[in-house]
Structure formats: C-alpha cells, structure tokens
Amino acid sequence: MTISNWRETRLSRLLATRLPVMATGLHWLSNADYVAAAVNSGMMSFITAASFADLQALRDEIQRCRELVGGRNFGVNVSMLPKLLPGDRTEEVMALILEERIAVVETSGRDPSAYVAPLKASGCKVIHKVPQLRHALKAEAAGVDAVTLVGAECGGHPGESPVGTLVQGVLAARALRIPFALGGGIASGEQIIALLALGADGVAIGTHFLTAEEIPAHEDYKQRLIDAQAGDTTLIMASVRNTMRVLRNETTETVHTLEREGVNDIQQLLPHVRGILGRAAYISGDWQQGALSVGQGVGLATRMAPLADLIAEFEQQADHALQRLCP
Ligand SMILES: Cc1cc2nc3c(=O)[nH]c(=O)nc-3n(C[C@H](O)[C@H](O)[C@H](O)COP(=O)(O)O)c2cc1C
C-alpha cells in the first residue's frame, strides 16, 4: 500500500466511490441531504427506508437525493426486524428499490437471502451488515456482494455477544473471501489505515458523522455528543435479546432499573425505547429522552461541521498515519 492508493480498495471499486468509506444507515437521520453530502464527498451512503411513514415518502426522498448527487450512485438501507412480523414492509420496500433502480442496498437485521438474487439481477449491489462473523459467512454463501461487520463499540446494534472491532477484523480477514468493511468506533483517519492493515476493504461510520451539519437534528443534541466522553454510552435491552449501544441518559437509567428488576418483556420496555421518542429528541434537542443510538467513537467528536469537512479531516489523518508508518 502506498500513500497515494489507500483510497482504492476492492470496496471502493465495487461501489465506484473515491474513498473506501461508507456513511451507513441512520434511523430518522440519513435523509437525502445527508446521503448526498456523503456521496458528493466520495463515500457511499444510504437513505434509511424505515424512517419514512409510507412508500411514497421514501420514493420522494430518493428522487430528492437523485437531484442532489448529480448522477452519482447512492444507496438505501433496509433494516429488517429479526423476525418477520405482521405489517413488515420489507417486500414492498425491495420492490420499490428495484423499480427505482437503486445502485446499492445495505441490509441489516434478518437474513437477506431471499432478496439477493432479484437485487443482483437488476444490477444492484447488496451489502449485508452484521455484528457476528457467522452471519457474515452466511451472507457470503447467499451471494451478497460485500458485508459490513460491526464491533462492540458501535452505535445501534452490536449483537448479543458483542466482539470488539479489532478482533472482528482479524477473524473476518481470515475467513471471508468477499470484500468487507469494518465498523464500530471508527472516528478518525488513523483507524482507517489500521483496519485496512488488518485486511478490511473499507470502513463503515455512523456515530462520528452525527455532528455533521447535514444531520437533521437539534444543535443541543449535537453539542451533547461533542461534550460526551467515550464512556458516556451504555448497552440496554440485552434482557430482551435486542442489545443496543446508546447515549447514557434518563431513559437508559429507567431501562436499566427495569432490567435489574427482572423485566424481560419488550412490551414493558417499549414505552421508554420506542423509535418515535428518539425522533422527538432529535427534533427538540432534549437528549435525556429516548434510546439514542451512539457508539464509543463519540469520545472523538469535536465539532459541528459540513460532512465534507469531517471526511477531509479523516483523509488528512489517514495520510499522516501512513506517512508515519512508511516515511
Ligand atoms: C443514530 C444511529 C442510527 C442508526 N440507525 C440504523 C438503522 O436504521 N439501520 C441500520 O442498519 N443501522 C443503523 N445504525 C448503525 C450504523 O449504520 C452503523 O452500523 C454504526 O453506527 C457503526 O458504528 P459507529 O456508530 O461506531 O460508527 C445506526 C447508528 C446510529 C448511531
């Protein structure tokens, strides 16, 4: 690897991006403005389908994004619940993705096997995101184009037996044949070089970009992220086998108390953790309320800035790290 070519990997070639970096799906937050800012800065990014109340609203957002990216490719994130439940919209969302000829799909949650063949036949690249290597291997066998493995540090869902990103990386490099990205705690350019050195083909970032200007959330929430230390996140909902890493706040205190008291029924936790409360917090800035996905990389957030500036800083840090290694 030389200083000039860390940017070109199997993942950047697969996605036809300038950088081997993905700004992955963020519920309520990765809208057309955010995704377009990421794509126009050289990354791949994903509109989160679950954030839209109906399919027409998702279609409108895709159209808005198309106008903002000037012909560049962008993706849609399809987060599936662990089990198929009544009211699940995955089939309809996948049909819309095919109709709209979306370039890349990021799936997470359930096994995506059923959707891989039709998506690939239409020319869409499929990247499945998982917290455990065994699921990544299953996705590889199902024919996905690439996988993203997230480690214990990540915001959102680190799985039920979280494994740190560095350990995941070595395991993945030894076992997978298809291109893979690593996520979980990536909040500096130096880490990109470290993970490429492990054998990863790229990185996936959520938390570090939450303070981007394009993120549609209140400044008080972003300021809290800037003030937070790396230890200000916590894990909730292991009791219902739906572990989430979130910002420590009044809601997590309440949920921890309930879990200590032996609550292990999602229905009893839902009044505190339902997604709509998180959305209200993003709008009002009252970060004490709701289960707000945030990873340990929050300890490295220093400023609100355009997404293009945040990624430009990463590139400089990555170049310097490589110079240090290969003067
Ligand atoms: C606020 C927030 C919302 C997220 N929403 C989703 C989502 O809707 N679907 C999904 O697949 N992943 C979601 N994630 C996970 C991210 O796409 C990504 O995997 C994760 O943030 C990477 O770890 P990091 O936070 O340490 O960068 C979310 C993460 C955050 C921080």
Counting ligand 1 atoms within 8 A of each CB, the residue from 29, 43, 154, 233 with the most, and so the one to mutate, is 154
Q: Is the CB of 281 under 6 A from ligand 1?
A: no
Contact 132, 94 (CB under 8 A): no
pLDDT digits (tens, 9 = 90+) for 42-60: 999 999 999 999 999 999 9
Our mutation pick for probing the ligand 1 site, out of 22, 27, 135, 279, counting the most ligand atoms within 8 A of Cβ, is 27
What is the reported pLDDT for 3? Answer: 53
The rounded Å distance from CA 26 to ligand 1 centre is 5
Residues 81 and 87: their CA atoms lie apart, in Å, by 11
Q: Which token pair is 309?
A: 């500036």
The alpha carbon of 312 is separated from its chain's Cα centroid by a whole number of angstroms, namely 19
Q: Which two tokens stand for residue 78?
A: 């399809």
What pLDDT score does 82 carry? 76
For ligand 1, say whether the CB of 24 is within 6 Å of any of its atoms: yes
pLDDT value for 83: 74
Question: What pLDDT, on a 0 to 100 scale, did the predictor assign at position 85?
Answer: 76
Mutate to test the pocket of ligand 1, among 21, 22, 26, 153 (most ligand atoms within 8 A of CB): 26
* CA 150 to ligand 1 centroid distance, Å: 9
Low-confidence ranges of the chain (pLDDT < 70): 1-4
Q: Give the distance (Å) from ligand 1 centre to CA of residue 41.
A: 19
Cβ–Cβ under 8 Å, residues 11 and 125: no
Q: For atom 15 of ligand 1, which residue has the closest CA? A: 156
What domains, with CATH codes, occur in the chain? 10-214+306-325 (3.20.20.70), 219-296 (no CATH)
Q: What is the pLDDT of residue 45?
A: 99
- Cβ of 162 closer than 6 Å to ligand 1, yes or no, is no
Tell me the pTM: 0.97
Nearest to 140 by CA among 110, 176, 105: 176
Strands 244-247 and 125-130: unpaired
Tell whether ligand 1 has an atom less than 6 A from the beta carbon of residue 76: no
Asked if residue 108 has its Cβ within 6 Å of ligand 1, the reply is yes
> What are 2-17's pLDDT values in tens digits?
555 899 999 999 999 9
Tens-place pLDDT, residues 83-94: 777 788 999 999
Residue nearest to atom 20 of ligand 1 (CA): 206
Q: Based on the number of CB atoms within 10 Å of its own CB, is 249 exposed (0-12), middle (13-18) or buried (19 or more)?
A: buried
CA distance 84 to 64: 30
CA of 107 to the centre of ligand 1 (A): 12
Atom of ligand 1 nearest to the CA of 46: 17
Mapped onto helix, strand or coil, the DSSP state of residue 264 is: coil
278 lines ligand 1 (CB under 6 A): no
- Give the ligand 1 atom nearest the CA of 205: 27
Atom of ligand 1 nearest to the CA of 209: 27
Nearest CA to ligand 1 atom 28: 26
**How many angstroms is it from 206 CA to the middle of ligand 1?**
5
